[in-house]
Amino acid sequence: MRAQLPPRTLLSLALALLFLNMSWAKRGCSSSSPKLLSQLKSQANITGNTASLLEPYILHQNLNTLSLRAACTEHPVAFPSEDMLRQLIKPDFLSTVHATLGRVWHQLGAFRQQFPKIQDFPELERARQNIQGIRNNVYCMARLLHPPLEIPEPTQADSGASRPTTTASGIFQIKIDSCRFLSGYHRFMGSVGRVFEEWGDGSRRSRRHSPLWAWLKGDRRIRPSRSSQSAMLRSLVPR
């Protein structure tokens, strides 16, 4: 019999293969809407799996008890709800996803402060790279829809930087808050994946414009991540 790989190893391999498309984003966007949609559905579904980030965080931070796991979801950090996402027309939905993932990317960068050696928690940097890959594909899908998409970029106050603390209670609270944030992030990505599934099911539900992002500030056009900008993309996105 062949030895079966552990679930976390299988997930890591799936992520590595799936996000290999990031190298293509550096060269330009695909002109195939079905291909982009398929990639986005897969990316959202995989990153919505708590095994990709939340579970490793819980184990690393010694939060693996019934009471502490419950605390991680008691007061989940606010993310756009699935009902809200379903009400949005496609351009607004893409803008919301792009902006929200920008915030998550910054917040995960702030999480580095919790790990003296970042190599002790490689899932963190992998998650940030994966987010950039998803945002690149969201940007490319938005280009295919033609209308200019306005999104708020994270402000400095929203960068997720944590204030230094030396008290045991303060450190513990940071761990719980981070755990709740990751729980909300996975829940959000699960919702995103389900909405993308509906894009390809042939449904033609009417979606209305809603006042967007009362919790977001700023007003800038959707742009690819810095790591994947090219002269071609910069020429197409007004600054």
Q: Does the reported pTM lie above 0.85?
A: no
Give the pLDDT mean for 126-145.
Answer: 92
The string of pLDDT tens digits covering residues 172-200 is 999 999 999 999 999 999 999 999 999 87
Confidence of residue 222 (pLDDT cuts 50, 70, 90): low
Give the whole-angstrom CA distance, residue 163 versus residue 105.
18
SS3 220: strand
The strand ranges marked E within the chain are 150-151, 220-221
More confident residue, 226 or 209: 226
Give the pLDDT mean for 195-212.
Answer: 61
Which one-letter DSSP state was computed for residue 31?
S
The answer to whether 142 and 222 have CB atoms below 8 angstroms apart is yes
Q: What is the pLDDT of residue 30?
A: 80
Confidence of residue 234 (pLDDT cuts 50, 70, 90): very low
Which one-letter DSSP state was computed for residue 150?
E
The string of pLDDT tens digits covering residues 92-133 is 999 999 999 999 999 999 998 888 887 889 999 999 999 999
